[in-house]
């Protein structure tokens, strides 16, 4: 299992699978399993029984986690799906950099 370079709130592009080419924000990261939950991607239907919380019951559509290797970060500067490198700034902060344009990816 590789180290995850994707964080919650990142804009990512799906690079393989049924949702290939779509983009969405990361809602949750699960580093132990190497999975990410992306908004509007890999949506499954779930049949629920009526309960006190949901008296109507019925069919619910919800996102299901996908493997982090299937997503690439979209650089906010160049707008391309890119790999991520790490570097230290002069003041000692660790930041993520876009491999294509060299710009800082982290939200400051």
Residue 26 lies inside a defined structural domain of this protein: yes
- Both 93 and 50 in a single domain? no
Residue 2 lies inside a defined structural domain of this protein: no
Total domains in the chain come to 2
- Both 92 and 44 in a single domain? no
pTM of the model: 0.83
Looking at residue 108, its pLDDT comes to: 46
Domain with residue 46: its CATH number is 2.30.30.30
Residue-wise DSSP of 33-90 = TTEEEETTSSEEEEEE---SSSSS-EEEEEE--EEGGGEEEEPTTT--EE-EEEEE-T
- Both 44 and 27 in a single domain? yes
pLDDT tier at 67 (50, 70, 90 boundaries)? very high
- Both 55 and 97 in a single domain? no
- Both 88 and 60 in a single domain? no
Provide the β-strand partners of residue 35.
30, 67
- Both 68 and 86 in a single domain? no
Q: Measuring CA to CA, how many Å separate 96 from each of 47, 79, 106?
A: 41, 15, 6
- Both 34 and 57 in a single domain? yes
Looking at residue 106, its pLDDT comes to: 82
Q: Is 103 helix (H, G, I), strand (E, B) or coil?
A: coil
Could you list the residue range(s) of the whole structural domain that residue 99 is in? 82-108
Tokens of 72: 């690439």
* pLDDT-above-90 percentage for the chain: 81
- Both 15 and 58 in a single domain? yes
């Amino acid at each position: 299992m590789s180290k995850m370079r994707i964080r919650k709130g990142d804009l990512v592009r799906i690079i393989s699978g049924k949702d290939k080419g779509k983009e969405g924000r990361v809602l949750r990261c699960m580093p132990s399993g190497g999975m990410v939950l992306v908004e509007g991607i890999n949506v499954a239907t779930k049949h629920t029984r009526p309960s006190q919380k949901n008296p109507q019951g019925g069919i619910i559509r919800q996102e299901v986690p996908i493997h982090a290797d299937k997503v690439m970060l979209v650089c906010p500067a160049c707008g391309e799906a890119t790999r991520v490198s790490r570097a230290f700034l002069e003041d000692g902060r660790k930041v993520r950099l876009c491999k294509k344009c060299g710009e800082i990816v982290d939200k400051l």
